[in-house]
Amino acid sequence: MPPKGKKKGKKKGKKAEGSKPEPGIPTDKEEIMQKELDALTTELTTLKDRCSELRNQNNFLQQEAGKIRTESHEYMSYMEKKTHKRQTSIITLSDQNTKEIQDIRDQQERMLATYEEKKSKLRAIMLEKEAALAKIKQELDDLGDYKNLQSKQLTRIKELEAEVTQMRSTHTRAIQDLKNKFLEEKRSFQQDSDSKINTMTKLASKVRDVTNTSSK
């Protein structure tokens, strides 16, 4: 093995001569920029994974909303059958009773329409945030002067990460609130409907009794 002193002498000699680095060997500046680019690429990959997770969560929430719609339609069908069965035992209905039944149906439709509208707005906001993340990734791919824009892009990515995290929490909370409100209104609606149908049944029974008495 050659003495260490000879190796140091050769290195000093090369620096003194000022020779250029061999082709194919990256300079220190290029290595630093490559490491920075690799780090940013890793962060973008993480953001992409988070977006995928948000999409999966959104799909799950959509499925839950679908279940709620199905339950609502089944309940409406049940109420229509129940109402029809009760109506067969009623001799006549006043205009006021007929209007109340229509009001019940209209209220149910408005509840469903409001729920769908709020869910669509939340979905639109989520898609907007995902589009913003995709746009940043495209901008980074097309960068000609990476170092001048690196700080700005990293700041923006952190802001979007915070926004996505906040939106995920808000979205989940809003969907849960909507679901709870819908179920509560559904229970109230069912109780109110049963009460009104019972009232109409009693009214029909009284009318029938009066009719029977008159016929005697």
Pairwise CA distance, residues 207 & 204, whole Å = 5
Q: Is it the case that residue 33 has pLDDT exceeding 50?
A: yes
Chain-wide mean pLDDT for the chain? 76
pLDDT at 12: 42
7 pLDDT more than 50 = no
| Rounded Cα–Cα distance for residues 216 and 213 (Å) | 5
φ, ψ of residue 21 to 5 degrees: the values are: -65, 150
Q: How far is CA 91 from CA 43, 87, 134, 214, in A?
A: 73, 8, 65, 15
DSSP one-letter string for the chain = ---HHHHHHHHHHHHHHTPPPPTTPPPHHHHHHHHHHHHHHHHHHHHHHHHHHHHHHHHHHHHHHHHHHHHHHHHHHHHHHHHHHHHTT-S---HHHHHHHHHHHHHHHHHHHHHHHHHHHHHHHHHHHHHHHHHHHHHHHT-SSHHHHHHHHHHHHHHHHHHHHHHHHHHHHHHHHHHHHHHHHHHHHHHHHHHHHHHHHHHHHHHHHHHHHHH-
Q: What are phi and psi of 26, to 5 degrees?
A: -70, 145
Which tokens belong to 59?
Answer: 């799909």
Q: Which tops the pLDDT comparison, 19 or 5? A: 19
Per-residue confidence (pLDDT) for residue 1, from 0 to 100: 40
Supply the pLDDT for residue 115.
Answer: 77
Q: What is the pLDDT of residue 126?
A: 79
pLDDT tens readout for residues 151-190: 777 888 888 888 888 888 888 888 888 888 888 888 888 8
Confidence grade of residue 147 (pLDDT, cut at 50, 70, 90): low
Would the pLDDT of 4 be above 50? no
- pLDDT over threshold 50, residue 2: no
Give pLDDT, residue 93.
Answer: 56
What average pLDDT score do residues 48-63 get? 85
Query: Residue 6 pLDDT > 50, yes or no?
Result: no
Nearest-angstrom CA–CA distance, 61 and 167: 14
Residues of the chain with pLDDT > 70, as a percent, come to 76
Angstrom distance (rounded) from CA 31 to CA 28: 5
What per-residue confidence (pLDDT) applies to 97? 67
Q: What is the pLDDT of residues 99-143, one digit of tens each?
A: 777 777 788 788 878 878 887 887 888 788 788 878 877 776 766
Note the pLDDT of residue 167.
85
